[in-house]
Structure 1
Amino acid sequence: MISGVLLDLAGVIYDGEEIIPGATDAVARLREAGLPIRFVSNTTRSNKQAILKRLDGLGLSVTGDEFFTPAQAARKWLEEHDRSPYLLVHPDLVPDFQGLAGGQGKALVVGDAGEAFDYQTLNAAFRELIEDAEFLGLAPNRTFQDADGKLSLDAGAFITALEFASQKRAIILGKPSPEFFLLALASMSCSKAEAVMVGDDAETDVAGALQAGLSQALLVRTGKYRPGDETRFRPPPTATVDDISAAADWILAEHNTWSRE
């Protein structure tokens, strides 16, 4: 039975500055069927309000309660552990961390800093770690689909480099962290056994969701997907479909089957 849906954004709902054909209709059909939706994104180049505004401009209305980001999880962690953030993130993400000033030390927060990933900034981050800062990784993604349609290095490569140099493991707060998936499910009172994840990243979206205990996860052939991705990581996708429209068809068929029984 499916009673809740988690959707990735980049590569599933939109691609660059364009909405993926059929995405708005697919989301509407899921909502009309009474299925609650949460959008779970590892995007760390834009703050939450900017992404919500972008979605609205693309014709998709999403409330703040429906949208989960690693920056939200990091802010919660920093508040609970009374740490102030040392940020190695994209400048557009900085507003999500305003007002934090913990008294029990620092925590290095690494996201997709883009052009800021140079020797000087990475070395400064390394020095914070060896001087006893905690280490928070917003997302471990290896790659993302860049504006030119090609894959580019994502934050995961730089998190791994800092782990190697400092001999300190990062606490990962976005996908594929089980806690991130479970936080989104808890917000709509949906059990793991009745949830499905839809993403374009076979590792962090799909295998990550299944490892977190979700019963089903679909891989779409849009965004960063490349032929053969469905066989590269374990567990494999429950199904691989062309796009979000096909994913909605699959989910609704499963949902309606259970509804009739």
Structure 2
Amino acid sequence: MQRIPNETKLFIFDIDGTLHVDGVLVSGALELLQRLRQENFQIRFMTNTTTKSQQMLLDQLNGLGIEANTDEILSAPEASRIFLKQEQQSSGRPLKIWAVVNDHIRADFDAFEHSSERPDFVVIGDIGKDWSIDLLNQIFSCLNRGAKLIALHKNKFWQTRQGLKVDIGLFIAGLEYVSSQSALIMGKPNITFFKQVLASAHCDASEAVLIGDDIDSDVGGAQRLDIFSVLVKTGKYRSEYHAESKIQPDLVIDSVADLAQYLA
């Protein structure tokens, strides 16, 4: 039976679809996390969620009974803020950005000048039902005037209690097509995002294990750095999609609770 590598020091968990599905805790997830902490493994929570601030994510985990602190949570909006801060420092001038994001994370970009006419960067996250053809055309105009496109992630879909729903990847792919530019992806599967997680725990890729429900963003991103990857059959997992994918996880389990039996 396949085992988690003996040299493992860090477990990186996707949140939505892996630890909970639309706010409902996956059975056995809490017990697994408690065991890992008792055995002195480091834990990080890595998410492409773009509708919650760091504090909201922490409150959500704590509300589910999951022990965590803000230093253990790395989100796509936070990765974007770090990137833009570095860009601003290297340019030597204030950056102008247009943050097309959820109101809950808008304050994350307060350190930059705002412009929806001639921004240096257009940052796109999940804005739910606020998408419109007029908004897309306004973004398109900015890109045509030289703005660079930043996507907090490019997920195709996400899991809700009502089934799969399209995610912002639909809009990102369309904007890339009409503007003839490739978006800078901040969240998974961007390897820079994974490197930030590893650095926060002072671990090498060979010492980490990634657990997620998205074979593209979670597993695909982890494997770019040779991080041992575990795919769970919860959340957005679909057997047909898995069977057709060229990405092969190191381990496939029914749910995160089953990880315990694969520990060395």
TM over 0.5: yes
Give the residue type in structure 2 aligned to 1:146.
Answer: T
Give CA-to-partner distance per residue, 1:82-104, whole Å, 9 cap, x none.
22321222222213222322899
Give the residue type in structure 2 aligned to 1:81.
Answer: E
Among all aligned residue pairs of Structure 1 and Structure 2, give the percentage whose two residues are the same amino acid.
32
Give the residue type in structure 2 aligned to 1:235.
Answer: I
DSSP-derived class of the 2:257 partner:
helix
In the alignment, does 2:66 pair up with 1:60? Answer: yes
Q: Give the Å deviation of 1:128.
A: 1.2
Q: Give the Å deviation of 1:210.
A: 0.5
Give CA-to-partner distance per residue, 1:157-201, whole Å, 9 cap, x none.
111100001111101110000110111011111111121100000
In the alignment, does 2:139 pair up with 1:125? Answer: yes
Q: How does 1:110-189 map to 2 (within 5 A)?
A: 110-148=124-162, 150-189=163-202
Counterpart residue number, 2:30: 24
In the alignment, does 2:208 pair up with 1:195? Answer: yes
Q: Give the Å deviation of 1:146.
A: 2.4
Give CA-to-partner distance per residue, 1:42-71, whole Å, 9 cap, x none.
111222211111111111121111000110
Q: Does the 8 A contact of 2:98 with 2:119 survive in 1?
A: no
Give the residue type in structure 2 aligned to 1:225.
Answer: Y
RMSD: 1.7
CA distance in 2, matches of 1:84, 1:197: 35
CA distance in 1, matches of 2:51, 2:160: 12
Q: TM-score, normalised by structure 1?
A: 0.90
Counterpart residue number, 1:257: none
Q: Give the Å deviation of 1:12.
A: 0.7
Give the residue type in structure 2 aligned to 1:137.
Answer: A
CA distance in 2, matches of 1:126, 1:62: 40
Give CA-to-partner distance per residue, 1:120-164, whole Å, 9 cap, x none.
11111111111111211111110001242x111111111110000
Give CA-to-partner distance per residue, 1:11-47, whole Å, 9 cap, x none.
1111112111111111111111111011100111222
Q: Does the 8 A contact of 1:27 with 1:248 survive in 2?
A: no
Q: Unpaired runs of 5+ in structure 2?
A: 1-6, 89-94
Q: How does 1:46-57 map to 2 (within 5 A)?
A: 46-57=52-63
Q: Does the 8 A contact of 1:48 with 1:96 survive in 2?
A: no
CA distance in 1, matches of 2:132, 2:247: 35
Q: Does the 8 A contact of 1:230 with 1:237 survive in 2?
A: no
CA distance in 2, matches of 1:48, 1:122: 28
Q: Does the 8 A contact of 1:220 with 1:247 survive in 2?
A: no
DSSP-derived class of the 1:182 partner:
helix
Q: Does the 8 A contact of 1:196 with 1:217 survive in 2?
A: yes
Give the residue type in structure 1 aligned to 2:166.
Answer: L
Closer/same/farther in 2, CA of residues 64 and 84 from structure 1, 3 Å limit: farther
CA distance in 2, matches of 1:71, 1:39: 14
Give the residue type in structure 2 aligned to 1:61.
Answer: E
Choose between structure 1 and 2 for higher RCO, CA contacts under 8 A separated by at least 6 residues: 2
DSSP-derived class of the 1:34 partner:
coil
Give the residue type in structure 1 aligned to 2:229.
Answer: A
Counterpart residue number, 2:102: 90
Could you list the structure 1 runs, at least 4 aligned residues long, displaced by more than 3 angstroms after superposition: 102-105
Q: Give the Å deviation of 1:118.
A: 1.4
Q: Out of 13, 18, 27, which is 2:19 matched to? A: 13
Q: Does the 8 A contact of 1:177 with 1:212 survive in 2?
A: no
Counterpart residue number, 2:232: 220
CA distance in 2, matches of 1:146, 1:218: 21
